[in-house]
Structure 1
Amino acid sequence: MTDGEHTDRVQLLSADALRRTVRDIFAAAGCAGDEAARIADNLVDANLTGHDSHGVVRVPLYVDWLRSGFVLAGQTARVVTDGGSFAVLDGCRGFGQTIAAQAVELGIERALEHGTCVVALRNAGHIGRVGAFAETAIRAGLVSIHFVNVSDSPLVAPFGAVEKRFSTAPFAAGVPLPGQPVVLDFATSLVAEGKVQVASYGGKPLPPDALISDEGELSGDPRVLYGDFGSADLRRASSGTGAIRAFGEHKGSGLALMCELLAGALTGGGGSGPVGPEFRGISNGMLSIYVSPSRLGTQDEFERIGREYLDWVLAARPIDPAVPVLAPGQPEERTREARLATGIPLPTDTWTAICRTAENVGAVPSR
């Protein structure tokens, strides 16, 4: 299909057209041109890698948060503590695509200088696909580890519970092996909340056990999380009574708790709850660790041992000969290549919601 063609439920748009649309929406909504472009690049890149949950489906909600004052345009991360090889930054509720990029830039700069750096970021707007920041560190030759939480956003039930207590609490890590960098990036919930959004707009259905109702019944119906909604309405988890389930039973639940304690408590940004009577909007916390193999003096051994081991892992005989074993990050590479060539598939309801948002701010969608 060509750019803009669609079926009853999905249509394809080029990355360039989608990027222009998102950029123009945020510029019209009050962001400076460079910030609008940064948000557009980050969201469209998520779609290109197949992480539609962190892509342009977020546009209507981001604009709603901006208009409500829950996220602020044009902010710069404020240094709270600076210890050289460690720092605490306050995002001042700026757009995560701006604030997290500043935090990552600082972490990379300091790790290249000192060999390692720990950056504790708090009060950033939604930062999008965390793996993008691990990729940035890889390009600088650094290993990185990222623990993330979302304050005031309980969405996930702990193992054995039916009530929301955790955010989706993402975790990411990047390893710069020669020829095949490894990027691990996932939510500690069984599905990211954005995947529930995508499914609610007519995209890929959820697994039938992704959600749990307040009565303990497993479900794949987004209404368990959002309550009733119209096709192009904003999705709000506060309107539903159910929760997303943690992945991996007690193991995923335990990792989610660690993300909340490290990214929420240690950074000083706050946990996913309990939510106070006056909702101020969600914010991300992120604890990032950067390590330079060259400054550790292990660069040669690291690359040799790491690549030999990775190759051995990938050479394992697959269950299905037509489906090879892949390293974390390889599916994203393949999806990016395919979507750049054929277009990004969007559920029709997602595109309708984006077009409605564009109309509301006075922007014109590109096709």
Structure 2
Amino acid sequence: MTKVVSAEALTADCTKILRAAGSHEDEARRVAENLVLANLSGHDSHGVGMLPRYVDSILEGGLQPNAHAKVNVDAASLIAMDGQRGYGQIVGEEAMVLGMQRAKQTGSCILTLANAHHLGRIGHFAEMAVAQGFVSIHFVNVLSRPVVAAWNGADGRYGTNPCCIGIPLKGRDPFVLDFATSRVAQGKMRVAHNEGRKVDAGLLIDEHGRPTIDPGVVVVPQTNGLFGALMPFGEHKGFGLAVACELLGGALTGGGTWHVPANTKRAVFNGMLTILIDPQKLGTREKFESDALAFVDWLRQSPPAPGTEGVMVAGEPERIAREERRRSGIAVDDTTWGEIAASARKVGIQQLAAPH
């Protein structure tokens, strides 16, 4: 069963929980809005279903409410920052604001952010950049229980390690490519498990390394407390990109890579390498703008494949979902709502607003 909740009601409840968990009002509201925006964008994996994990991480001492990004190195167009285990939605935005200010001055900025708690939907940071006319490239690693198998491996060895690219298109909605380097996001398996659904073949292996369609293998402990794993997308190519995300988002930023046995801690820490480019300063802006539009128009002229709605570019599905979900509400399955209510009780809130 599912409940349909308005974005406003969901934001209010999440804000209430985050405040009770220790956040100041502004932080609680911004994190809540970011989570709900992920739901609105069609990415329930990164939405309010993450809230129970955030509360657990705070109670364990991992996530630090009201922490801010600290600048460790400031060398013109090269900036290194430490998120100090604060909310990724907060320290990530702080890092992006500084990086964009610098790119506006120098034409580009290479920005590293280490030790951020879960950054959420990386596309949000690309959307910040393209709104200011910048191209942005993001490589992210995930320090949490390893849930993705190496190509030709039979157990989880690293995280979903997202990669994201944002490109502004003059007079149009931007190109925002945001994807996990696993075949599917871990959060989508949590959603499927909570909804009692099986998933497509080829996405998962169980705790013995065998193919399975049961999303529970990466959500709840299986035989002897072991978990299954997600598969990398694109076989060896996606695996190679995932490794690059680990090395760039983890090792290069100073946040670290995953190379220890799994534990049961609920914290999720990210490192992110961001590259920002100002086409104006590069001297190619006019050519860039005209050629980018020409190529997108060329793509759209392709006749739709049978049974499809035709060619879409990255970012379109999210914008369509936002329009629809703002109008009709956000569906939250009963299991996820129960987990959110339980997290509220952990921080002293006995009653949430009734879903409607």
Superposition pairs of residues 99-248 of structure 1, within 5 angstroms? 99-178=91-170, 179-202=172-195, 205-227=198-220, 239-248=225-234
Contact 1:174–1:184 under 8 Å retained in 2:
yes
Which moves more between the two structures, 113-122 or 274-283?
274-283
The alignment partner of 1:82 has SS state of strand
- Tell me which of 316, 319, 323 is aligned to 1:337: 323
AA partner of residue 11 (structure 2): R
Q: How far is the alpha carbon of 1:138 from its aligned partner? A: 0.7
Which residue is 2:271 aligned to? 285
Q: 2:28 aligned with 1:41, yes or no?
A: no
Which residue is 1:327 aligned to? 313
AA partner of residue 196 (structure 1): M
Which residue is 2:4 aligned to? 12
The alignment partner of 2:312 has SS state of coil
Identity percentage of aligned residues? 43
- Relative distance call for 1:50 and 1:261 in structure 2 (3 A) is same
Contact 2:146–2:157 under 8 Å retained in 1:
yes
Deviations 1:98-136 (A, max 9, x none): 111111111111111110001011000000000010000
Equivalents in 1 of 2:277, 2:135: separation in Å? 5
Q: What 5-or-longer segments of structure 2 have no aligned partner?
A: none
Equivalents in 2 of 1:39, 1:353: separation in Å? 18
The alignment partner of 1:335 has SS state of helix
Root-mean-square deviation (CA, aligned residues, Å) is 1.9
Which residue is 1:21 aligned to? 13
Equivalents in 1 of 2:335, 2:225: separation in Å? 20
- Relative distance call for 1:354 and 1:36 in structure 2 (3 A) is same
Q: How far is the alpha carbon of 1:164 from its aligned partner? A: 1.3
AA partner of residue 181 (structure 2): T
Count of aligned pairs: 351
Contact 1:117–1:291 under 8 Å retained in 2:
yes
Equivalents in 1 of 2:68, 2:62: separation in Å? 16
The alignment partner of 1:285 has SS state of strand
Deviations 1:242-264 (A, max 9, x none): 11111111111110000001000
Equivalents in 1 of 2:204, 2:16: separation in Å? 35
Q: How far is the alpha carbon of 1:275 from its aligned partner? A: 4.3
TM-score by length of 2: 0.94
Contact 1:203–1:347 under 8 Å retained in 2:
no
AA partner of residue 66 (structure 2): G
Which moves more between the two structures, 152-161 or 142-151?
152-161
The alignment partner of 2:244 has SS state of helix
Q: How far is the alpha carbon of 1:203 from its aligned partner? A: 6.4
The alignment partner of 1:92 has SS state of coil
Equivalents in 2 of 1:218, 1:10: separation in Å? 29
TM-score by length of 1: 0.91
Which moves more between the two structures, 172-181 or 206-215?
206-215
Equivalents in 1 of 2:307, 2:193: separation in Å? 34
Q: How far is the alpha carbon of 1:215 from its aligned partner? A: 2.4
Which residue is 1:365 aligned to? 352
Q: How far is the alpha carbon of 1:300 from its aligned partner? A: 1.1
Q: 2:83 aligned with 1:91, yes or no?
A: yes
Contact 1:152–1:271 under 8 Å retained in 2:
no
Contact 1:152–1:273 under 8 Å retained in 2:
no
- Relative distance call for 1:303 and 1:354 in structure 2 (3 A) is same
The alignment partner of 2:332 has SS state of strand
Contact 1:155–1:165 under 8 Å retained in 2:
yes
Contact 1:223–1:240 under 8 Å retained in 2:
no
Equivalents in 2 of 1:104, 1:264: separation in Å? 18
Equivalents in 1 of 2:225, 2:62: separation in Å? 18
AA partner of residue 352 (structure 2): P
Which moves more between the two structures, 262-271 or 350-359?
350-359
Q: How far is the alpha carbon of 1:286 from its aligned partner? A: 0.2
Contact 1:142–1:293 under 8 Å retained in 2:
yes
Contact 2:52–2:343 under 8 Å retained in 1:
yes
Which residue is 2:282 aligned to? 296
Q: How far is the alpha carbon of 1:226 from its aligned partner? A: 3.1
Q: How far is the alpha carbon of 1:273 from its aligned partner? A: 2.5
- Relative distance call for 1:205 and 1:13 in structure 2 (3 A) is farther
Equivalents in 1 of 2:115, 2:19: separation in Å? 23
- Relative distance call for 1:277 and 1:171 in structure 2 (3 A) is closer
